[in-house]
Structure 1
Amino acid sequence: MRTFIALELPDLFEDEVASLARQLHDAVAGRFMRRETYHVTLAFLGDVDEMGARAAMAALDAACAGAAPVELAPEGLGTFGRPRDATLWLGLRPTPELTGLAEAVRAQLDARGCSYDRKAFRPHITLARRARLPEGTLPGLAFPLPATARRVTFFKSTLTQEGARYKPLHTVELG
């Protein structure tokens, strides 16, 4: 099964991210993500079997033991890919607490022999895929206010024609 570990967004912050996406929808063509798919990926594991899933859940428990809630502070928009076929995202300030949590999750995955995508951690929330950015500047946007995230979850991801569907398999509360 295809899996990842992510920080879940608090409800009000998620509402504000969805509002930002609606503002962008008028200026940017692309496939915008559904609100329920918003998250901050800490580690993408890809395909794991049942034994790998159990190891990932143990890694998550160990990484989050005693960890405090994490502030999410928006820093602006960014993209991966080409301007006419990009992934559009909302960047988050890489605070020591946020990067430390990602590092702890990855270290615990390493300790248990779990493989994951080793790209550098860049905290962001994906807003749209296959986005075609307009020439010039975007209209004035209302960005979400900083918020505190308290839940880290191991998710199963199922790809469908309508986009990915995420199912929580194991959640740890921070703090």
Structure 2
Amino acid sequence: MRAFVALELPEAFADETAALSRALAEVCDGRFVDPENLHLTLAFLGEVGEAEARSAMAALDAACLGTGPVRLGATGLGTFGRASDATLWLGIQKDPQLMGLADRMREELAARDLSYDEKGFLPHVTLARRARLPRGGLGELAFPLPDVATRLTLFRSILGSDGARYKSLYTVELDARL
């Protein structure tokens, strides 16, 4: 199964990100991510078996030990790829708590000999794939207000002809008392 570890977006932040995505869909062509699939990936594992998935669950537990909620703040839009075929994303501030959690998550995966995409961590929420950006401006856009994420989840990615669906396999609540 294809798997990844991601922070779930808090409800208000997710709703505001979905509204931003809808506004962008009015001026950009592309395959926009379904609102229920919005998330912030910390580590993409790729294909894993059941034993690796159980090890990844243990890595989540270890990485989250003593970790409180993570602040999320939007920094603007960005893209990967060409303007005519881009991945469009919402940038997220490199908050020390967020960056530390991403580092610990990757260290715990490596300690269990689990492979993951080792590209440098750039915090973002993917909004659209195969996006074609207009030559002119994007108009007035409302970005999500700052919020805190409290759930780190191991997801299974199920690919279909209409895009990916994500199924939660295991979730760790970040301790609000910290």
Tell me which interval the TM-score lies in, with the shorter structure as reference length.
Answer: over 0.9
| Residue pairs, 1:66-77, within 5 angstroms | 66-77=66-77
Percentage of matched positions with identical amino acids: 61
Q: TM-score, normalised by structure 1?
A: 0.99
Partner of 2:153: 153
CA distance in structure 1 between the partners assigned to 2:91 and 2:123 by the alignment: 6
Question: Which blocks of at least 5 consecutive residues in structure 2 are unaligned?
Answer: none
| Residue pairs, 1:33-52, within 5 angstroms | 33-52=33-52
Query: What letter matches 2:61 in structure 1?
Result: D
| Residue pairs, 1:107-122, within 5 angstroms | 107-122=107-122
Query: What letter matches 2:145 in structure 1?
Result: L
Question: Which blocks of at least 5 consecutive residues in structure 1 are unaligned?
Answer: none
CA distance in structure 2 between the partners assigned to 1:171 and 1:116 by the alignment: 18
Displacement of 1:8: 0.2
Displacement of 1:136: 2.4
Query: What letter matches 1:168 in structure 2?
Result: S
| Residue pairs, 1:20-31, within 5 angstroms | 20-31=20-31
Partner of 2:96: 96
State the 4+ residue runs in structure 1 displaced beyond 6 angstroms.
none
Task: List per-residue Cα deviations over 1:81-104 (Å, max 9, x = no partner).
Answer: 000000000000011111111000
Query: What letter matches 1:54 in structure 2?
Result: R
- Equivalenced residue count is 175
Partner of 2:58: 58
Matched, 1:11 2:2: no
CA distance in structure 2 between the partners assigned to 1:38 and 1:26 by the alignment: 18
What is the Cα-based RMSD across aligned positions, in Å?
0.6
Displacement of 1:50: 1.0
